[in-house]
Chains A and B, each alone.
Chain A
């Protein structure tokens, strides 16, 4: 039995630590702040692992219960409560583990920052919010966690609040996410409309009600209600998981300190959308239109965002584009109904991507806050631990057979291949070509940073140096699962019915079932990989990067000059930012100014308000002439009036 107290402790420990470090940071000091927050997250991690053990080993039943009633309106009970099944437990362990690593890492990374306590408070608050999100048993709390992680992300991207770029980026991130949340809220409203409930169990139980209904959003066009619901929810996921066209905030979010790039913008928060869609699998399964849309968006993100990683020179931004691309892979998995595969990739990605970001952070410290890879090179000998762990992260990312990323990504690709949806071929080719792109930009990063000639100019005192143990320890801790977690868990998690009832797949969509037939243990799977295209594409990518950036480093510039239009398009990120800036930012300010100047100031105030005042003034001005004050005027008027009256009487 999983107890409520246990779950409450898992959630509240980080919250309590966050409040203590946030409000009492000055009192308990730097050491006090990091101690209490690390203790809180460590406790959450230990208990989360215990919950997972209870579910897996002791065979405990999933927990589904409410903590308190938020409100009751119109007979609909809105509650705060927990649903902890295999899917949730997996997320809890991943979130708390990565968070713990990042907490420890932060001691080193933020060592000299005056906002030390504040930072620890934020990341603990984030852990609380993320746990509330994944542990929710209803849509309301899901949305609460959803927005709460968004706010912490907002605060953390703008952590260095004096930097103009940081406070631009955090506003952008929040607003783009709000566009997603807008869809999400509409989806929730639709769900309440059809099922009169916000609880997952009730909603999923009543999903046939939604499926049976249609909606007319535009006159004459009938939509399946379930499609509308799922698309609305997916728009929410697109915001949070940074899918095209709501992806623009994620690269800019790199303005935040590197630890949160690892925790929030790679491992956990951005995967909330993936988690949510997997959680909603009973709904998404019923709408092929929605699944096709998911496939299309995911595939587009996976391939085209990967391309952008090739031309960027900022070490963090390259990894950010890689994150976008990998999130696209997960989304493609969702669209192909391989929800388990998407969650599995989410898990492996959490480890190796957090690792890559933290390694990048280590490089940044070692290089004295330099992020431009053109000013690096040859760091291998200065930072061996960072190098080797980064290399492990990279091989996992490009899915070298045997690593964790290999199992998750290859299975996703296979799963998409099995899908019969309309968008499946497009998605398949996108993710397949994406493998080459991924390998290319990943090893471009490795080669430019750690190999080749040293392109930095450092005197004796500013030589790059390996980071302290609080930084390298988390790297090592993350490198281990990045390498082995796939091999150990793939069979059980993906093909052993791990998710049970947490994920629902229609028999017709059971792509993972087909992959399972081909799967005969991890070792055979590794061998089998050499008969397929992805591994050779990856090798080609690595070789290409090696040739261009180590063997003939003068070539990339020549190629860029040769196809300068392409280079321009890519380095300007397909001009999406510019377009949004022009249309949405400037456009809405233009609309606002127009409505204000024309509507409020000119028409309402000038026309109605002051206009009516003027009419009164004008009328009284006219009438005033009749009150001249001369007696003979009045007498004259009386005579005219009198004669008119008399005339009327006589002539009547």
Chain B
């Protein structure tokens, strides 16, 4: 049942409006600012659940659609809508943001109003990215999103924040510019009797030659690969995470990385299916490199945030692997059996990684707020002084190592099973994450959480307070729920995923 009011616009503009109000209020009252931020994000989350409730799980069509004139001269519309792929990602966004607000409650002392405003505006923009049906609108929001994140890291970040923000900005911006070129090219291709279109749906129907497709594919690949990030364009992420404040890291890991995965599913695969087919070996190889190479690199990190950042890259490898299995499956087995499972796995992995990596970064934040160090060697025996925190940390660590009954298992399992259909060795290399993921995560747990109290700082630690407990508890429930009963999520996605598989296996040539 569809709603007769523009829910997506409200989800986008409510937080942005909240952000603007906060900027206007300024730092006159930090307490007021916090509550405004919390209220706005909580209401946004509340409204977003209506998406889930009213979502029609029998269709792959866009739902809750809106369309208004935006830039008539360019035939670009303010056009919104969600399907089974975008909707869960929007829910992830609205779910994580209030937690970030709570997490930052007493932590941010410098210009809190602006800090929260940045997050609120960022939330609106991110929801917009997932909901945009117009290529140009998508691009504008996609780039606009960089600004609040740039500010968050650049102002509230650590000592090397300038280096990190420049690196972050240049990397992602360079990737995106090429995407703009492709979007404009696609726009020009749609022209028919002076009628052109930026609608993504119209791009799907364009008959494109293989060479055209390959160029478009590569430009999209650069944009999305940087965002995911895929090896070898990943080195901005550890630096950005290390310097970002906790809230920034959580949003970055939980949601912004998903933009890349979403981009592949929304743009690359359906617009350039033949190029995807031709170049899938490239994406699959890079994905497997991400899982194995990055797994080893994560093992030797000394900085907790860096370690989790590398772990993110490795886990996102499953997203890209799962997304691009379809073509291998077609060429090996001649049918699409397993393709939907690969994409299902990629999607679940995105949601799950959003929860788990967000939780892990939050855990590091809890420790950092107390000790002001992210170095593994500054800790040891935290469980002695913070037993409740340790319980959560171990839970999320196990989830990060893909333990069944946590969400971390679902996506990886589906992708491994699906990839076996394509090639034993894909499954073999991807499966190495069982060992590597456990090794780097639990080795960190051993050194940080377990053991004797290592030093005075650890001895002086106090366990989580109510605020922190709420954030960790909510995330823990989400991680367990998705691990124990992922069926509803899969149900929501099914028509869209099946439709996508059909779409991308139909050649445009």
Bound complex: CA A189 to CA B426 (Å): 11
Chain B, range 430-478, C-beta contacts under 8 Å to A: 431-432, 434-435, 438-439, 442-443, 446, 449-452
* Residue A517 interfacial (CB < 8 Å): no
| A185 and B450 within 8 A (CB) | no
**Known interface pairs A178-B438, A185-B416. Does A70 touch B485 (Cβ–Cβ under 8 Å)?**
yes
From B403, B418, B424, name the one whose CB has the most chain A CB atoms within 10 angstroms. B424
| B431 and A608 within 8 A (CB) | no
- B370-407 vs A: 1/0 string, CB under 8 Å? 00000000000101100000000010001001011100
Q: Write the nearest CB–CB distance from A523 to chain B, whole angstroms.
A: 47
Q: Write the nearest CB–CB distance from A177 to chain B, whole angstroms.
A: 9
* Residue B421 interfacial (CB < 8 Å): yes
Chain B, range 327-346, C-beta contacts under 8 Å to A: 337-341, 344-345
- B293-315 vs A: 1/0 string, CB under 8 Å? 10011111100000000000000
* Residue B420 interfacial (CB < 8 Å): yes
* Residue B142 interfacial (CB < 8 Å): no
| A171 and B443 within 8 A (CB) | yes
* Residue B167 interfacial (CB < 8 Å): yes
Chain A, range 169-213, C-beta contacts under 8 Å to B: 171, 174-175, 178-179, 181-182, 185-186, 188-190, 192-193, 196
From A71, A72, A76, A588, name the one whose CB has the most chain B CB atoms within 10 angstroms. A71
Whose C-beta in chain B lies nearest to the C-beta of A605? B235
Q: Write the nearest CB–CB distance from A384 to chain B, whole angstroms.
A: 39
Bound complex: CA A588 to CA B435 (Å): 11
Residues of B within 8 A of A167 (CB): 446, 450-451
Residues of B within 8 A of A76 (CB): 341
Chain A, range 534-573, C-beta contacts under 8 Å to B: none
* Residue A68 interfacial (CB < 8 Å): yes
The size of the chain B interface, using a CB distance under 8 A, is: 62
Residues of A within 8 A of B450 (CB): 158, 161-162, 167
Contact of B410 among A71, A185, A196, A596 (CB under 8 A): A71
**Known interface pairs A70-B486, A158-B450. Does A171 touch B340 (Cβ–Cβ under 8 Å)?**
no
Whose C-beta in chain B lies nearest to the C-beta of A68? B485
| A186 and B297 within 8 A (CB) | no
* Residue B427 interfacial (CB < 8 Å): yes
Residues of B within 8 A of A181 (CB): 434
Whose C-beta in chain A lies nearest to the C-beta of B405? A144
* Residue A604 interfacial (CB < 8 Å): yes
Q: Write the nearest CB–CB distance from A230 to chain B, whole angstroms.
A: 15
Binding site of A, secondary structure by majority: helix, strand, loop or mixed? helix
**Known interface pairs A69-B487, A161-B383, A178-B438. Does A185 touch B235 (Cβ–Cβ under 8 Å)?**
no
| A189 and B417 within 8 A (CB) | yes
Contact of B340 among A74, A189, A599, A609 (CB under 8 A): A74
**Known interface pairs A76-B341, A181-B434. Does A600 touch B381 (Cβ–Cβ under 8 Å)?**
no
| A600 and B404 within 8 A (CB) | no
* Residue B413 interfacial (CB < 8 Å): yes
| B451 and A164 within 8 A (CB) | yes
* Residue A148 interfacial (CB < 8 Å): yes
Bound complex: CA A146 to CA B24 (Å): 56
Bound complex: CA A594 to CA B498 (Å): 42
* Residue B316 interfacial (CB < 8 Å): no
Residues of A within 8 A of B485 (CB): 68, 70
| A608 and B232 within 8 A (CB) | yes
**Known interface pairs A71-B487, A76-B341. Does A189 touch B297 (Cβ–Cβ under 8 Å)?**
no
Q: Write the nearest CB–CB distance from A228 to chain B, whole angstroms.
A: 8
* Residue A623 interfacial (CB < 8 Å): no
Q: Write the nearest CB–CB distance from B360 to chain A, whole angstroms.
A: 17
| A189 and B427 within 8 A (CB) | yes
Residues of B within 8 A of A497 (CB): none
| A592 and B299 within 8 A (CB) | yes
From B293, B300, B344, B383, name the one whose CB has the most chain A CB atoms within 10 angstroms. B300
* Residue B428 interfacial (CB < 8 Å): yes
The size of the chain A interface, using a CB distance under 8 A, is: 53
* Residue B286 interfacial (CB < 8 Å): no
* Residue A591 interfacial (CB < 8 Å): yes
Whose C-beta in chain A lies nearest to the C-beta of B300? A592
Contact of B435 among A171, A178, A228 (CB under 8 A): A178
Contact of A589 among B167, B300, B409, B420 (CB under 8 A): B300
| A192 and B383 within 8 A (CB) | no
Bound complex: CA A185 to CA B337 (Å): 19
**Known interface pairs A73-B344, A74-B344. Does A596 touch B297 (Cβ–Cβ under 8 Å)?**
yes
Whose C-beta in chain A lies nearest to the C-beta of B438? A178
* Residue B16 interfacial (CB < 8 Å): no
* Residue A215 interfacial (CB < 8 Å): yes
Contact of A178 among B345, B416, B427, B434 (CB under 8 A): B434
| A151 and B403 within 8 A (CB) | yes
| B420 and A189 within 8 A (CB) | yes
* Residue A593 interfacial (CB < 8 Å): yes
Chain A, range 142-175, C-beta contacts under 8 Å to B: 143-144, 147-148, 151, 154-155, 158, 161-162, 164, 167-168, 171, 174-175
Contact of A604 among B235, B421, B428 (CB under 8 A): B235
| B232 and A73 within 8 A (CB) | no
* Residue A508 interfacial (CB < 8 Å): no
| A70 and B296 within 8 A (CB) | no
List 7 contacting pairs A-B, 8 Å CB cutoff, sorted by A. A69-B487, A147-B409, A161-B449, A186-B431, A588-B296, A592-B296, A592-B300
Q: Which residues of A contact B (CB under 8 A)?
A: 68-76, 143-144, 147-148, 151, 154-155, 158, 161-162, 164, 167-168, 171, 174-175, 178-179, 181-182, 185-186, 188-190, 192-193, 196, 215, 217, 228, 588-589, 591-593, 595-596, 599-600, 604-605, 608-609
19 additional A-B residue pairs with CB within 8 Å, beyond A178-B435, A186-B424, A588-B439:
A70-B484, A73-B341, A76-B341, A144-B405, A148-B403, A162-B381, A167-B451, A171-B442, A178-B434, A181-B434, A182-B432, A186-B427, A192-B420, A589-B299, A593-B300, A599-B232, A599-B293, A605-B235, A609-B171
